[in-house]
Amino acid sequence: MRLKGIWRFSFFTSVFVLIILIAGCSHIPRHRVGTVETGTASWYGEDFHGKPTASGQIYDMYGISAAHKTIPLGSQVRVTNLANGKQVIAPIMDRGPFVGDRVIDLSYGAAQRLEMIEVGLAKVRIEVLEIPRSYRGGRYTLQFGAFAERDNARKLADKLESKGYRPDIEETNVHGDTLYRVRLGLFNSIEGAQSLEREFSSTGITCFIVAL
């Protein structure tokens, strides 16, 4: 009888723990193209400038990038300052913020676009525009940026061309928005793409690998 009682206790304890785990998992955010989130944005600058991010890229505070706790690295998001309507499209390159209830950390350059440098914090809307595919074999390319304005994509392409490269500007429609992506190269292995990515990173040029 005692063993039977112990078995029942263990069984019901296991079921209870399983229910708790399932409930916890149901709250894990699952981001996909079109996901919208609102919350408080902050920005980070000199203390992290020149240091590696979670994506492996070197953080450039004057460039356009962002940090988020769960959106996949390499994703493109549109951030809108709800106080003034200013917008910026930025790649998720880092993890954070881990302070209070903030939902996204912007680079100094991105925060400038949203005109939130002086106030420091801003209520924003975050829309996921693009999520990179996982690296499961196939072909790869390097992406240097995605812009809502073709002129901005052209400026970045011109910068790469001045260094002897021949990038492409690809026009695409993502969730109803037209984006101009600056990409370079076509690789049949992830190793080849990583090699050139490291080469660009060593010169301070930010890019990330995209599976085709």
Task: Supply the CATH number for residue 187's domain.
Answer: 3.30.70.1070
Q: How many domains does one find in the chain?
A: 3
Model confidence pLDDT, tens digit, residues 160-178? 999 999 999 999 876 677 8
Apex CA 29: angle with CA 17 and CA 20, to 5°?
10
Examine residue 8 and state whether it is found in any structural domain, yes or no: yes
Say yes or no: 124 and 147 in one domain: no
pLDDT at 26 over 70: no
Say yes or no: 100 and 175 in one domain: no
Least confident of 123-132, 136-145, 188-197: 136-145
Say yes or no: 72 and 152 in one domain: no
Q: How far is CA 177 from the centre of its chain?
A: 18
Pull the structure tokens for residue 15. 């079921």
CATH number at residue 120: 2.40.40.10
Examine residue 172 and state whether it is found in any structural domain, yes or no: yes
What pLDDT is attached to residue 6?
Answer: 46
pLDDT band with cut points at 50, 70 and 90 for residue 16: very low
What pLDDT is attached to residue 134?
Answer: 61
What pLDDT is attached to residue 24?
Answer: 40
Say yes or no: 23 and 51 in one domain: no
pLDDT at 84 over 90: yes
Dihedrals φ, ψ of 91, to 5°? -85, 145
Q: Is 77 in contact with 31 (CB distance < 8 Å)?
A: no
CA distance 15 to 67: 37
Examine residue 135 and state whether it is found in any structural domain, yes or no: no
Say yes or no: 50 and 111 in one domain: yes
- Of 77, 109, 130, the residue at which a domain comes to its end is 130
Say yes or no: 74 and 145 in one domain: no
Examine residue 173 and state whether it is found in any structural domain, yes or no: yes
What pLDDT is attached to residue 83?
Answer: 97
What pLDDT is attached to residue 193?
Answer: 85
Say yes or no: 10 and 57 in one domain: no
- Of 78, 101, 130, the residue at which a domain comes to its end is 130
What pLDDT is attached to residue 175?
Answer: 61
Select the highest-mean-pLDDT range: 12-26, 57-71, 92-106, 109-123: 109-123
Say yes or no: 114 and 94 in one domain: yes
What pLDDT is attached to residue 15?
Answer: 44
Number of residues assigned to the chain: 212
**Domain that residue 192 falls in:** 140-211
**Between 15 and 109, the higher pLDDT residue:** 109
Say yes or no: 149 and 199 in one domain: yes
CA distance 84 to 202: 37
* Model confidence pTM above 0.85: no
- Of 130, 152, 172, the residue at which a domain comes to its end is 130
Say yes or no: 124 and 154 in one domain: no
What pLDDT is attached to residue 8?
Answer: 52
Examine residue 184 and state whether it is found in any structural domain, yes or no: yes
pLDDT at 73 over 70: yes
Pull the structure tokens for residue 44. 């980070």
Distances (CA, A) of 117 to 41, 42, 110, 203: 11, 9, 9, 27
